[in-house]
Amino acid sequence: MTHWRINVKNKELSTDVDALTDTVELLFTEVATKGMKYVNLSGFKFDEVNPEHLAVVLRAMSSFKEHDYDWKEAFQVCVDACKLKNLDVNDVLYGLI
């Protein structure tokens, strides 16, 4: 499992700016070293993710949302995860809704 996915699946990980930035940097490192085709946004379960970290990944990958079914699937997982944690979906996914 890639490091950015580990961050997304760590429900206890801090959601401060440094932690969120780390997740995006790990994602971009994977894109730079392996290419976009290796970035897999599928397979997340709403009760196993940190919605803020998934949201930052979705935001970073938002230019692909119209062409990537996995992005749309991950978006719905994030919505459901926000609801599970009683987070404001509009706040967490600001700019993506």
- The ranges assigned to domains in the chain are 3-92
Instruction: Specify the pLDDT at position 1.
Output: 66
Could you tell me how many helices (H) and strands (E) the chain has, helices first? Answer: 5, 0
pTM: predicted TM-score of the whole model, two decimal places:
0.92
- Residue 78: phi and psi, rounded to 5, are -65, -45
Cα-Cα-Cα-Cα dihedral of 55, 60, 62, 63, to 10°? 180
More confident residue, 1 or 53: 53
In the predicted structure, residue 79 carries a pLDDT above the cut 80: yes
Per-residue pLDDT tens digits for 20-38:
999 999 999 999 998 887 8
Query: Mean pLDDT over residues 4-16, rounded?
Result: 97
Query: Mean pLDDT over residues 40-64, rounded?
Result: 94
Q: Three-state DSSP class for 60?
A: helix
- Which pair of structure tokens corresponds to residue 88? 């404001």
Instruction: Specify the pLDDT at position 63.
Output: 83
